[in-house]
Chains A and B, each alone.
Chain A
Amino acid sequence: ETGVTQSPTHLIKTRGQQVTLRCSSQSGHNTVSWYQQALGQGPQFIFQYYREEENGRGNFPPRFSGLQFPNYSSELNVNALELDDSALYLCASSPRAGRGVRSTDTQYFGPGTRLTVL
């Protein structure tokens, strides 16, 4: 059983550019959540995808968007990059029984993508 994987590992972009980060969920997991972790801070929830639909969103602007594919892998897209977008982006996968069902299943995190915006 493979764990959560993310690509790329590191990325350098300039202000105003667009970026796409990718996440492959753990086998059997239908839910992917994305988090942003700025240096010296705890992770902050960006959004979650359950069975290809957005299922909850944090306090991030619309230029942060995502997708989930039929195989439950996911992408995070960020448009019009700003310097403050520099962070470690983490994805986490978990199995959920339903959209509004509170789950006791663990969210398993990937190693993250380090994004630097110059």
Chain B
Amino acid sequence: AQSVTQPDIHITVSEGASLELRCNYSYGATPYLFWYVQSPGQGLQLLLKYFSGDTLVQGIKGFEAEFKRSQSSFNLRKPSVHWSDAAEYFCAVEVPNQGGKLIFGQGTELSVKP
């Protein structure tokens, strides 16, 4: 069965430092992969998505992610974190032939120190 694992429940970084959030997936075919961000009391906002092609994808707010098939990973990165990036981040994989069902990881909560 498909699954998504985000190993880090909570990460704290200093403002201006670089960030990497880990995501591993279990999937038998070419995955459609997503990163979403959720601020407190808000819905989910798409940061970026990967369907095919270039394995390094650029998203909004200065985020990027790299798809590594050999490692079944889709890690999210940002070179310099801003205080406004503090939020919950979710990695997700789309399951084909099931109505576009998204399977989400448990999420990583990001705190930013001044």
Residues of A within 8 A of B (CB): 4, 31, 33, 35, 40-45, 47-48, 50, 55-58, 90, 92, 94, 96, 100, 102-104, 106-112
A103: chain B residues at CB < 8 Å are 100
Q: Which of B40-95 contact A (CB under 8 A)?
A: 41-46, 49, 51, 90, 92, 94
B28 CB–A CB distance under 8 Å: no
List the count of A-B residue pairs having beta carbons below 8 Å apart: 70
Q: Of B96, B97, B102, which one neighbours A43 at CB under 8 angstroms?
A: B102
Q: How many residues of B contact A (CB 8 A)?
A: 26
Residues of B within 8 A of A (CB): 4, 32, 36, 41-46, 49, 51, 90, 92, 94, 96-107
Q: Of A45, A108, A111, A112, which one neighbours B101 at CB under 8 angstroms?
A: A45
A107: chain B residues at CB < 8 Å are 46, 100, 102
Instruction: Kindly state the separation between the CA atoms of A57 and B102 in the bound complex, as whole angstroms.
Output: 11
B99: chain A residues at CB < 8 Å are 31, 33, 47-48, 50, 55-57
- Indicate if the CB atoms of B100 and A110 lie closer than 8 Å: no
- Indicate if the CB atoms of A41 and B100 lie closer than 8 Å: no
- Indicate if the CB atoms of A42 and B90 lie closer than 8 Å: yes
- Indicate if the CB atoms of A104 and B102 lie closer than 8 Å: no
**Given A42-B90, A102-B96, A106-B49, is A58 in contact with B101 using a C-beta cutoff of 8 Å?**
yes
Instruction: Kindly state the separation between the CA atoms of A112 and B42 in the bound complex, as whole angstroms.
Output: 7
- Indicate if the CB atoms of B101 and A48 lie closer than 8 Å: yes
Instruction: Kindly state the separation between the CA atoms of A40 and B6 in the bound complex, as whole angstroms.
Output: 13
A96's nearest neighbour on chain B, judged by CB, is B100
- Indicate if the CB atoms of A112 and B43 lie closer than 8 Å: yes
Instruction: Kindly state the separation between the CA atoms of A44 and B107 in the bound complex, as whole angstroms.
Output: 12
Whole-angstrom distance from the CB of A87 to the nearest CB of chain B? 13
Instruction: Kindly state the separation between the CA atoms of A90 and B46 in the bound complex, as whole angstroms.
Output: 14
